[in-house]
Structure 1
Amino acid sequence: MNPPVKVTTSPNRGRPGYSRDDVIDAAVREFNQRGYEATSMGHVASVLGISKSALYHHISSKEEILKYAVTRAQDALDGVVDKAEASDASPGEKVRALIYGSIEVLCADQESVTLLLRLRGNSEL
């Protein structure tokens, strides 16, 4: 079951609105469930209960969502590696830091990391 998407209501409109991150998170969940190629922007809009034009207010393309999500996950994981490499810890402590840090990133952004792992090696990203 999908976690709920935060919905905000604009004081100027009676209908729900979404932040850019909400739209991206919903799209990434759909990419993971349906597959990237099988997920259309129309489907993402439908899942969110908004029109495609409202969706394009937040993002320019499906490719932009993919690149953003994969980059977000990769940057977080790279940060774990950089932090471990820069530390004065023993090699064993560095490995532990890599494992724990990677788990923290996975828990904080499971959908984006899942997408990254599925696509790595299958695309130019």
Structure 2
Amino acid sequence: LPQLPFWVTSGHTETLEDVAFRSGAALSHLHLVLSREDVHQSLLRARLALKAATVTSKLEGRLAREADIRGAYHLTPPGEARGPDGDLLAFWRASVRVRPNRIGEIADLVGAEFAGDVGV
């Protein structure tokens, strides 16, 4: 797979324009990678969901690692509570399956309480 060009990730971004330009370059690169047929998008979505669950767990004040979250999700027997970290991964796995042009699906996912925050 092509690597992200060095100039996109190098140095500190000082201005808002630098941040916008580098973000656009990164998104363009991501588009190139995702349009390749040899990239398994389901694996990429699962990996991004795990990363998002890990960050969310840390934001909530827990110290769970990726392995802990993955274990809470995959090793819990059916019908038993997965715990907060397993539930976070379940939420993010459902979130990464939603297509961006279907705002209603996102509103259903986050619930009526937060539906206004996603633009519905």
Fold similarity call, TM over 0.5 = no
By relative contact order (CA 8 Å, sep 6+), the higher-ranking structure is 1
TM bucket normalised to smaller? under 0.3
- TM-score, normalised to structure 2, is 0.27
